[in-house]
Chains A and B, each alone.
Chain A
Amino acid sequence: MDFEHLANALTLTNLALALFGVVAGTIIGSIPGLSATMAVAVLVPITFSMEPASALILLGAIYTGAIYGGAYSAILLNTPGTPSAIATTFDGYPMAKRGDGDLAVAIACYASVFGGLVGALALLLLAPPLSSVALAFGPVEYLWLSVFGLSLIASLSTGNVLKGLAGGAFGLLLSCVGVAEISADIRLTFGSSTMIGGIEVVGALIGLYCIPVLIDMVATPERHLKVEEGGRAVRFREGAAIAWKSRFNLLRSSIIGTVIGILPGAGGSVAGLVAYSEAKRTARPGQKFGEGEPDGVMATEAANNATVGGGFIPTLVLGIPGTPPDAVILGALLVQGVRTGPTLFEGGGSIVYTFVFGLFIATILMLPTGLLIGRYAYKTIVTIPKTILVPAVGFMTIIGTFAIRNSISDVMIMIVLGTVGWVLSRFGFAASPIVLGLILGPIAEQGFVQAWIIGDATGNLAGMFFGRPISLAIIAFTILSLVYPVIQGRRARRLIKTEAGAND
């Protein structure tokens, strides 16, 4: 790893590609329905005529930009632009609602850049050893990881855990619709051939998060987001101060993101959720997660951008894509004639190292471009009159959902599910548990079925489910995150009791 590779990455072409990639990615990612996977897939043909390293830099820059861009719509419209940004909505949208949208966009940018750098650093320095993490995770580990993710329902649905659990079960059922991934049965379609493809996760996300916002927006004449009166100083510095204060949160979330990014079966959405859950568990007294807590936005955004570097680790070392966009990039590399594997790092490492430095540069470029585009996006959403905002966003949900797999029925499902979600949310059944169920359902089911088959074949079912060290660690974390809020709540109540006398 010498400076020659850095110099290679710093050519004018590569810099221009990185800049273009980050800007294009950020914009694409901010449009609900246009995911990082699609952004990368669209650009693959263009890269055929490029040098492999330049092609990788362009694709990596788009990918990292798109993951960040997802934060805009999550914060300003309560709609995750990509699944990775689901947990960004939990605190980002409440922040925007109370008039702190610009601040949320700024801290999301800082966190994304930080997370991206940590992920890229891991890719640069630790790729071959870390790739073994991908292989250490078997079916059972994925099962318990998804259970851990589901345990977030309990802490997310403050107030009514039962309704949260019912919503989660509803989401898990929705995830079963269509042809089962690993068995060949067609489930819960009730004879309708339009349902065979199942419920598309991104479409469902758009519906469940965005349609309720639109329905609420039209019902009353109030403004969409609260705006502070008078011109306000740029809040980049305030954001930086907040980010500095939460540096441990940023670091922890970035590490979580990197590790989960390495797992081929998980991805950015799970990384964001786990990091959010951990940030919430270790919250300082007085932090109110779910009501506009900056740490919630930062945890998610740091983690999901760290999955970019993390995901490249198994992709480049093992030839196993860590995340769906990596799968596309891997395909593009094959066409380029680049063989992935440990030798890529040892022998002809120049492509890899040039690419990793390119990824660094792209991530750093995200700081100015991200803040700039973010500011513009915020201003647009805040100043645009509601009359045009509602139909424009509605139009975007339709075209975005259609684009995912070119299907009108997906759009229909999106609208119906969104309307149902709005009714449900009005009676205390929040959208997030349903979404968690929908996303984690397939991971849980596949892990369970595979673990059961393997355990049954080797005659050791109990050992399969409860006898593997990583599984046990995840189970311990799950129990901890379930029990901890109860203890915390009791402690807080005791605190309030003792303070109550003084305040009255």
Chain B
Amino acid sequence: MNSTSTRHPGLNLGHAHGEAHEASEELVFGFWVFMMSDLIIFGLLFATYITMLGGTAGGPGPHELFELKSAFIETMLLLISSFTFGMASLALKYRSDRKVLVGWLVVTLLLGLGFIAHELYDFHKMFSEGGVPSRSGFLSAFFALVPLHGLHVTGACIWLVALLGQIAVHGLDTPTKTGLMRLAILWHFLDVVWIGIFSIVYLGGIA
């Protein structure tokens, strides 16, 4: 595993991939720069949320609005999808049968879509209980942080559909391979942000 030189942080394709391995150096490093700037945005939204915890203005608070069960289901969907994307990355790296790669990617996509659907259902329920963004500073901060993560997951799902289309039309050429590697970083990164959300927002709010 350590015998091949690493060109960038994260999973490297290795020399067997030739051009794609060469091209990935700049692309993946650039993507890490984007990812880290995104991390700053999320970090500051977490800070805003924590400073707004007391600002419920007489409206519904975490105890009334959050459910442990749905937070747990969403956590599991995202964690399993992170694992299945890891399996897809390995199928790409070790040039397994294309059906294996596409299979793992489709499973990942379905788990991501399940996560989004469940989150939308959660927001809908919060709205019906009076938990709308304009109700209080606490709810404004909540709806700035959690749906931004949901939008990221939605964007990642659209990107995944586009990459599946690229695989179908162009096959596994260099742009498709490097695209999959960057999407893998985004996907695992979004799972890391979700750890912060379920720990601080949901578990911290319910405990």
Q: Do A and B come from one complex?
A: no
Q: Give A contacts to B, CB under 8 Å.
A: none
B residues at A contact (CB < 8 Å): none
